[in-house]
Every structure is written in C-alpha cells, then in structure tokens.
Amino acid sequence: MREIVCTLHRELVRNNLVAWTAGNISGRVPGEELFVIKPSGISYDDLTPESMVVCDLDGTLVEGSLAPSSDTAAHAYIYRHMPEVNGVVHTHSTYASAWAARGEPIPCVLTAMADEFGGEIPVGPFALIGNDDIGQGVVATLRGRRSPAVLMRNHGVFTVGDSPKAAVKAAVMCEDVARTVHISRQLGEPLPIPQDDVDRLYDRYQNVYGQRSNR
C-alpha cells in the first residue's frame, strides 16, 4: 500500500491538481485497521514508499519517522464511518476549488458527470483544518449520494473510492468537469440533463462500460 499511495501522488502532479506540497492521498490497508497517507509538508519529488506513514483509524501514527498529513484526522474519520471506502484524496485543484469558494454545487450538465458522479457534485460545510471536522462534513455530505466527490466550502476537494486509484480518478474527473462547466457558464446557462437520463447514464457507466474484470 505504501508503493501504491506513493505512486498515485504522481498523478496529482501530472494532472495539475496540486501546488507545492498541498494535497494528499491515503489508502486503507487491506484486512487491518490502518491506512497509509502522505507525510506533511514533503515535496512530491521527494516522496518514496518508505516516506509514507501508517496510521490507525483514530489517526494516530503507528509506523513511520515523519509527521503525517495535516488532514490525517479527516481521512481517519472517513475510514471509520465509511467502511466501503478504501481510498481518500484531497486537492485544492483550481476550478473545483473555485466552485468551493462560491459554496456552489457543480450542476450535472455533462454526460461525463452523470457517468462518474451520478448527479451534481455537492458542497460540504466550512470546517477548519487539524481535527476531524472536515471528515465529519465529508461523510455527512456524501451519505446517501452517488457522488464520490465533495467540494468543501472555501477549501477544496475530497474524493473517495473503493481503492486509492478510484479516489484519484474521481479527483481528476472532478477538476475536469468543474473546468468545463465553468467555461460553459461563460457562454450562457448550461442545459441540465433530465434525472431519468442521469440515472440511465450512471447505471450504464457503472455496470456496463469498460472491461469489467479491470474495474
């Protein structure tokens, strides 16, 4: 899991989702009450599997010589309260964070949004960094929704997935649709997709699209 989490951080840089040392990925350790997360304030260029830290589900460091991410308590809360989640990502990606700064959900006006998010990308509450308040807001906002992404107001993006890779994909897609919908609104009011069509698109993408053995 250290290797997986370390390698996936390169995707945040490659997709322009992070600046400097901001942002983080974590992955639940299969069969254990533990997760691996990026250390705090370390350059992406300097990340190695050995520099990844291991925490328990209370966010307490149990293995590693570096301090864990400042978002560790939020990740831990998500893992405790969403047992189906095995990966969590946090970014301050530009366009999605702009929507978060407005406190405005991204409306479902693209088939790619219906496919990946099953509707709008919701906004969670404002919360300060350093304890599990952000995690509480993420869980409360995503509970009962199909979206794997939430825009935390005045902050940035949290995404979840059944694997760390799935959570990274959701973060990449969130920024992509945030940018496209923003540009669309400069041209006029985007056209919504009827809910029945959203449901059909989501079902097809989640259950039919692609090579099922590889998803």
Any idea how long the chain is? 215
Instruction: Residue 20: count other Cβ atoms within 10 Å of its Cβ.
Output: 9
pLDDT digits (tens, 9 = 90+) for 131-182: 999 999 999 999 999 999 999 999 999 999 999 999 999 999 999 999 999 9
pLDDT of residue 215: 47
> Which residue ranges form the domains of the chain, and what is each CATH number?
2-209 (3.40.225.10)
Euclidean distance between CA atoms 215 and 197, whole angstroms: 23
Instruction: Residue 3: count other Cβ atoms within 10 Å of its Cβ.
Output: 12
Q: What are the tokens at 3? A: 């290797």
CB of 64 closer than 8 Å to CB of 50: no
- pLDDT at residue 214 tops 70: no
- pLDDT at residue 212 tops 80: no
Euclidean distance between CA atoms 99 and 42, whole angstroms: 27
- The pTM of this model reads 0.96
Beta partners for 63?
A: 54
Give the H/E segment covering residue 160. Answer: strand 156-161
> End-to-end distance of the chain based on CA atoms, in angstroms?
18
Q: What sign results for the dihedral spanned by CA atoms 118, 124, 130, 131?
A: negative
Residues carrying an active site annotation:
115, 209
State the average pLDDT over residues 190-201. Answer: 98
Which DSSP letter does residue 115 get?
H
pLDDT digits (tens, 9 = 90+) for 65-114: 999 999 999 999 999 999 999 999 999 999 999 999 999 999 999 999 99
